[in-house]
Amino acid sequence: MEEFQSVRGFHDLLGEEAKRFRYVSELIREKLRVYNFEEIVLPVVEYLEVFQRSIGEATDIVQKEMFSFEDRKGRRLALRPEGTAGAVRAYVQNRLYALKPYVKLFYEGPMFRYERPQAGRYRQFHQIGAEVFGTMDPLADAELINLVHEILLEMGIDVTIEVNSIGCKVCRPAHRDALIEYLSGVEGHLCDVCIDRRDKNPLRVLDCKVPTCKEAVKEAPKMLDFLCHECREHYSKLKEHLTNLSIPYRENPNLVRGLDYYTKTVFEAVSNELGITVIAGGRYDYLVEEMGGPPTPAVGFAVGIERLSMLLRSEPKEDPLYFLIPFGEVLDYALTLAKTLRSEGRRVEVSYRKGGLKKQLELANRLKADYAIIVGEEEKLGNFYTIKDLKTGQQIRVQPSPSL
């Protein structure tokens, strides 16, 4: 019979990979808890337009990377490529702005992008995202970057945090004009994609990875030189907060991000080891209004869980495993013992195989147990059990209350 394979770009997470994934997820969720973020569980599918409108028609994600389809009623839907669009849709639809002066939400789950798969890039990947709605204060931006910094520090992942400001409706047009003019002057050095981007989305040219484009934009007009008074103030306050929080960061005037909704602050945490971005975010002060809500400034970020898992160097610690071996007519006693041990939070595996002690201990080793718990007639009668440390070989009797 033919054996099935998973779909290209969609992969199983198992063994150590799954453990690292869970470790990363739990560590981040705990951080979000102490920063008082509230969870929102969002649908994986939204109307296609939710993404087109928020992420932007001219972006790679919307143009080339969406898993979109029509349902049986002809509705145009898509698997979410990211979480911000859905979070904003939910914020507006559920009138969350009416509940609190500001709202801090987080979400976790699979995202889908039709990209070319490679190391650390999948078509189904997982994000944890956090969004703060309802404040313009650069302190919110700084606190998010601080949270990101703490996560990476705790995981021992070596990154550079890059920040930039890409302005607002007031100051962007002048920069855009200057940039288009500059790009027309260096057109001969740009790749075809960038020539096309020049008029549609000129900022994206600054982010192109093609070496000739990179070289050509080195002298391009920088958004930082065009910031209006408000954006300049916002950016300098942010940097002041980052310094006060002792967060090392690098200003990257060419950092622009691949989604259209950003305003003012943008940031990325880039791995120094692999050069890939592991966490990214920024401000999006117009999006809530553009999605039908009241004017509401907002800022957020998302973590790529697989990318962080990939960079983890230490194995997440696991609790010891107890392998319980019943010998003879003692199953009732053995299972009660297993129940007690498990209720104390211990990891217990009851042997499903029959056989002599040697075979059972071999099995315990193959299952990577730390201890074997041996229960026979004698143990049952005396209401105790025998525990063997599989590393040292040391064996002791424990009774009657199982506190190991």
Q: How far is the CB of 59 from ligand HAM (least distance, A)?
A: 10
Q: Which of 212, 277, 340, 386 binds ligand HAM (CB under 6 A)?
A: 277
Q: How far is the CB of 172 from ligand HAM (least distance, A)?
A: 18
| 69-98 binders of ligand HAM (CB under 6 A) | 82-84
| 52-71 binders of ligand HAM (CB under 6 A) | none
Residue 180 sits at the vertex; the CA angle it makes with 175 and 185, to the nearest 5 degrees, is 125
Q: How far is the CB of 190 from ligand HAM (least distance, A)?
A: 23
326 binds ligand HAM (CB under 6 A): no
Q: Which of 278, 324, 364, 390 binds ligand HAM (CB under 6 A)?
A: 278
Give the interface segment with ligand HAM, choosing from 35-43, 222-230, 299-307, 330-338 (CB under 6 A). Answer: 299-307
Residues that bind ligand HAM (rule: CB under 6 A) add up to a total of 26
46 binds ligand HAM (CB under 6 A): no
131 binds ligand HAM (CB under 6 A): yes
Nearest residue to ligand HAM, scored by beta-carbon proximity: 304
- For 73, list phi and psi in degrees, rounded to 5: -95, 5
Cβ distance 113 to 61 under 8 Å?
yes
Residue 315 sits at the vertex; the CA angle it makes with 313 and 317, to the nearest 5 degrees, is 145
- CA separation for the pair 90, 354 (Å, rounded): 55
- CA separation for the pair 320, 75 (Å, rounded): 51
The length of the chain in residues reads 404
Nearer residue to ligand HAM within complex by CB, 282 or 293: 282
260 binds ligand HAM (CB under 6 A): no
Q: Which of 113, 149, 172, 198 binds ligand HAM (CB under 6 A)?
A: 113
Cβ distance 50 to 42 under 8 Å?
no
327 binds ligand HAM (CB under 6 A): no
Identify whether 43 is preceded by a cis peptide bond (ω within 30 of 0). Answer: no
Nearer residue to ligand HAM within complex by CB, 198 or 307: 307
Q: Which of 46, 285, 306, 379 binds ligand HAM (CB under 6 A)?
A: 306
127 binds ligand HAM (CB under 6 A): yes
Q: Which of 132, 140, 247, 280 binds ligand HAM (CB under 6 A)?
A: 280
Nearer residue to ligand HAM within complex by CB, 309 or 351: 309
- CA separation for the pair 59, 66 (Å, rounded): 11
Which stretches of the chain bind ligand HAM, using CB under 6 A?
Answer: 82-84, 113, 115, 120-122, 125, 127, 129, 131, 258-259, 277-282, 300-302, 304, 306-307
